[in-house]
Structure 1
Amino acid sequence: MIKKDAVKDTIVSASLNGIRSSPRKMRLVVNIIRNKSILKSLDILKYSSKHKITIHLRKLLLSLLSNYRQKYMEDSKKYLYIKEIMVNQGKTLKRLRPVPQGRGHRIRKRSSNVLVVLGIRNGN
């Protein structure tokens, strides 16, 4: 849950829903880029080994930058950082896998929802 005081000084946010990867796997990558500058986190995602997840996260961060440019008409990427990033569970597809003796085991294909909030650091 996002804190109420964080929403007040939120600059720009972006979200991505229904990524076909489990939230647990997604959080492994998200925890690496939390509280890092936007440029540094894009570089980290570019060379990460979790390729399927990082493609979606890079697109989300580029969308976040685009939202910032549209709102403020300036390009100060130097001081922008990921203030808050959350991964929640999305819809779960339930499938049946046949097993011996006429039974079926349930397979849960999980998906994720990601929310990113952008912040500005002082020029220190």
Structure 2
Amino acid sequence: MEAVAKLNNYPTGPRKMRLLADVIRGMEVEKALAILEHHPQHNAVPLAKLLKSAISNWEQKNSGASAADSSLVVKTVFVDGGRVLKRMRPAPQGRGYRVRKRSNHVTLIVDSKN
């Protein structure tokens, strides 16, 4: 039985988050957590928290079963674009350049291996 966890409107670009999502996709949960905890990219912290949330959701769905006993796998991870905050930056000769501050939505699904 699979469990889902979602992270909405995290203020970083979706392309940066997809780099980390590609690393942990299909991995065992313990290995993915170890990689995320020691990864230098700043997006690794919320992704690790999201993975822990998905694990606890799985444990609540399968009452009594612990994630350590069963072999949990990161089944799917996908990153979608979230809202975009549009800001203006001063530019030469009285003009203004548009700055697009992007955010993303991450959906993570864990499932047992068998």
* Counterparts of residues 1-124 of structure 1 (less than 5 Å): 11-50=2-41, 52-73=42-63, 74-77=65-68, 78-122=70-114
Which has more helix, going by share of residues? 1
Deviation digits for residues 49-84 of structure 1, max 9, x if unmatched? 10x201100110111111111111210334100111
- Aligned residue in 2 for 1:3: none
Task: State the one-letter code of the partner of 2:85.
Answer: L
SS at match of 2:93: coil
4+ residue stretches of structure 1 with deviation over 3 A?
none
Aligned residue identity for 1:102: G
Cα offset, 1:46, TM superposition: 0.8
Query: Percent of pairs identical after alignment?
Result: 40
Normalising by the residue count of structure 2, what TM-score does the alignment of the two structures yield?
0.94
Q: Under a length normalisation based on structure 1, what TM-score does the superposition of the two structures give?
A: 0.86
Consecutive unaligned residues of structure 1, counting only runs of 5 or more, are: 1-9
Aligned residues: 112
Segments of 5+ residues of structure 2 without an aligned counterpart are: none
